[in-house]
A and B are shown apart, each in its own frame.
Chain A
Amino acid sequence: MDKQEVWQSVLAQIKLLISPANFNTWFKNTEVLEIENEKILLSVPNSFIKEWFEQKYHQMILKVVKSIHPQIKEIEYVIGKTPPSLIKKQIKRIIFPQPELLTFEIDEKTGLNPKYTFSNFVVGSFNELSYAAAQAIVEAPGKIYNPLFIYGGVGLGKTHLLQAIGNFLYKNKKMNVIYFQSNKLVEEIINAIKNNTIEELKKGFKDVEILILDDVQFLSGKEKTQEEFFFIFNYLYEKNRQIVLSSDRPAKVIPSLAERLKSRFEGGMIADISLPDYESRVAILKVKSQEKNINLQKEVLEYIASNIKNNIRELEGALNILSTFSKFHKKEITLETAKKLLKNIISPIPKISTFKKILKIVSEFYDVKEEDILSNLRRKEILKPRHIIMYLLRNEMNYSYPAIAQKFGGKDHTTVIHACEKIKKELLKNDELSEEINQLKIKIFEKEKI
């Protein structure tokens, strides 16, 4: 019998000995913390309950405990976690229909969230280059790699690393750090242009020693912002102030980003963060579960790590689910429970689409007729969508080349190979095309509206 079960059977017996009102008042929110040899450590919600147990119920509890665990000779009561209020009050809601602005996590001055530090950053082969570069920077900011450009997919820890650099320099070296999400910067610049305060905004950067700009891909297409940022960047760069940037892709493939910015972004150190390997994922889960103060069995951690591969944020999401469950039900999570709880995250709704749907969406997108695409016409405006469909079928739907050829009225499969290769090559240099294909993908895999 584990300690929970012991206590449950004790409670079951005590319930028969005292009135329901007494039982509910005194025994609610009690639990066994430890059973060691002859002693039980019992957690009670507050000192009123503790006094009562010690002075009134001690003999009764001891007797019942002994009937289950004869070797127990002693019970110690400690004040443990208290629920906010034993008796819930009715509170009128909607007192301040006001957005919550005092979010205490974020430092008003720097924009940094202090929870991101190097000490809770897990290093593995997937991110060691970026980590080493970050370490070099905090050693000698502005001197070695400037700017540092970190890129990698969503939820892999870019923001964590960037903020850790900022927090370290702000706290340990008392440097003037400023952290910006790129879209926030865009917003500020737009506002400044509108209110004619752009010079003041720029002046605000005068004393900045460390500028951290997260998700610079959002600058894409914001020409005026890029222009203003270019000046800020140059100003800081010339004064050897450290600049750290992140993006979800390499600078050279960020569409609609001015060439002069691209070349500046790439002028320092470029480091990538790739997908974490299995061991790193387990290590990350261990660190995060310690932070969240939840104890998970090895099998559960391994199960999560082997099933969630692409995103650290999803790993954390899985832990959150388990932690909420275990706190609520006050029991340990077994592998079975974990599987059940994480079903939705681990096997997400598969990407579903059909040839017909792709054909329809692409032809609508390029404003050509479906039958033209399927015909043998070789006009330029038809060739492009036709090739894109072939490319999508191959890369997104895993169709074989011959199968695709058959869909297009029995063309030769080498024609299909040629088309796919052509798009692939084109994608590397043509940002517009990659943007178009991204939009098409979103449409194609969009859930059917019912």
Chain B
Amino acid sequence: MKIKIIGNQLKKGMKFIGKITKRKSALETLENILLEVEKSFIKILFTNLETGLIYQSLVKTEKEGKICIKKDVFEDLVNYLDDEDIIELEEKDNFLKIQSSKFSSKIKKFSVDDFPVLPLPKEEKSIFVNSKNFTDNLKSVLNFTSPYLEKPEISGVLMKILENEMVFVATDNFRLGEKKFFQKVEGEFPAFFIIPQESAKEIYGIFNNLNEKIKIYYSPYQIFLEKKSEEGDFPELIYISKLTEGKFPEYEGVIPQKFITEVYLRTEDFLKKIKMASVFVKKTNELELIFLPKENKIKVLTENIDLGNFEAETTTEIKGKEISVIFNYKSLEEGIEAVNDTEFFIGIAGKDKPVLIKPKNIEDFIYILAPIKKD
């Protein structure tokens, strides 16, 4: 193998590769990347056997071939390249030789035969989305998945593809977030699948910085996200992930419909109060909200015997009955943060019942949170 490539192209590729989580494995080759040169293309491949990434770029090829090297070493080195540098990569004996006008280096090579084969999209169904829009919406629910892998069906994000809409849902059984967004789908729908939480994070990491059309292929077992190159009609980036098997819970039934107390609040102002109050939460993370309709006030209270306490009031119009609800402050805060509107709605369905939080102006997000039960 022998090629010439521009520095920033290598940097770009390794930046994408770096977003894939490296997992501990006994198999040494999983610490490696594979460089593959064929015709006038170089491919850089990396995988942890659950997800994987292929980066492809045009190069000046002098000799085709494949070489396997340690990912971390190459990544660290490439990171310092200047964008305009012309880099020469050449396989020599047991090494990959890297040379520019400024430096020269040799990286030890490993057996190419051990490197895993990455599955490629074949007959899968596909849709097109905007990468930024897609990942921004994904992020709204990304934190709400269950961290426990014993319940695989809720340890990932449910993705629903409907005729004119896509929906992301995530829950950990204590709270649930549902984000809808308009997306014209050409292709087959409805389709439902669960993206593992690790993969969803990787997808956000890789595609949120891009703002262009990407193609998503899906089959029952895996999902591919493909970004076309600006240099020509070939994919610059293919991301691969397995999907989680299982049936996402039928969550529609838990969405509260009727409320005994309801109120609209200013997002930024209220979030600030919660954050201040959180200084004094106990280990149990309890934060109390008291709704006082007669006085049109909401109180935010926390108390920690060892530290002190906090109390704040917000004046606003409250409909319904007086009630006090205790929340896990973190879950409350995360839900309100995901609202993405200047004002939001809180509806209390009753004592010990889940509450509903949603934006005031756009009906694209709902958050359901179970309060902490107190006798």
For A92, the chain B residues whose CB sits under 8 A away are 147
Name B277-300 residues within 8 Å CB distance of A: 283-285
SS class of chain B's interface: helix, strand, loop or mixed? loop
Of the stretches B62-70, B112-120, B309-317, the one at the interface is B112-120
For A98, the chain B residues whose CB sits under 8 A away are 174, 328, 331, 370, 372
- 21 A-B residue pairs with Cβ-Cβ distance under 8 Å, sorted by A, are A22-B114, A46-B50, A46-B222, A48-B52, A48-B116, A49-B49, A51-B119, A54-B117, A84-B149, A84-B152, A84-B244, A85-B196, A85-B198, A100-B173, A100-B370, A101-B352, A102-B173, A102-B176, A108-B253, A108-B255, A108-B256
- B256–A21 touching, CB < 8 Å: no
- A104–B174 touching, CB < 8 Å: no
**Minimal beta-carbon separation of A105 from chain B (angstroms):** 8
SS class of chain A's interface: helix, strand, loop or mixed? loop
Residue A450 at the chain B interface, CB threshold 8 Å:
no
- B26–A96 touching, CB < 8 Å: no
**Minimal beta-carbon separation of B70 from chain A (angstroms):** 16
CB nearest to B155 among chain A residues? A84
Contact with A along B5-35 (1 / 0, CB 8 A): 0000000000000000001111110100000
- B116–A52 touching, CB < 8 Å: yes
CB nearest to A191 among chain B residues? B351
- A103–B242 touching, CB < 8 Å: no
Give chain B's interface residues, CB within 8 Å of chain A: 23-28, 30, 47-50, 52, 113-114, 116-119, 147-150, 152, 155, 171-176, 196, 198, 221-222, 240, 242, 244-245, 249-251, 253-257, 283-285, 328, 330-331, 351-354, 368, 370-373
- Out of B49, B150, B284, B285, which one reaches A48, CB within 8 Å? B49
For A47, the chain B residues whose CB sits under 8 A away are 119, 221-222, 240, 242
Q: Tell me the complex Cα distance, A95–B155, Å.
A: 14
For A348, the chain B residues whose CB sits under 8 A away are none
Q: Tell me the complex Cα distance, A46–B49, Å.
A: 8
CB nearest to A26 among chain B residues? B27
Q: Tell me the complex Cα distance, A62–B258, Å.
A: 62
- A20–B26 touching, CB < 8 Å: yes
Residue A140 at the chain B interface, CB threshold 8 Å:
no
**Minimal beta-carbon separation of B36 from chain A (angstroms):** 14
CB nearest to B51 among chain A residues? A48
Contact with B along A100-128 (1 / 0, CB 8 A): 11111011110000100000000000000
**Minimal beta-carbon separation of A99 from chain B (angstroms):** 5
CB nearest to B371 among chain A residues? A101
Number of A positions contacting B (CB below 8 A): 42
Contact with B along A63-91 (1 / 0, CB 8 A): 00000000000000001011011111101
- Out of B119, B172, B330, B368, which one reaches A50, CB within 8 Å? B119
**Minimal beta-carbon separation of B74 from chain A (angstroms):** 22
Q: Tell me the complex Cα distance, A99–B150, Å.
A: 18
For A55, the chain B residues whose CB sits under 8 A away are 117
**Minimal beta-carbon separation of A404 from chain B (angstroms):** 47
Q: Tell me the complex Cα distance, A22–B113, Å.
A: 12
For B240, the chain A residues whose CB sits under 8 A away are 47
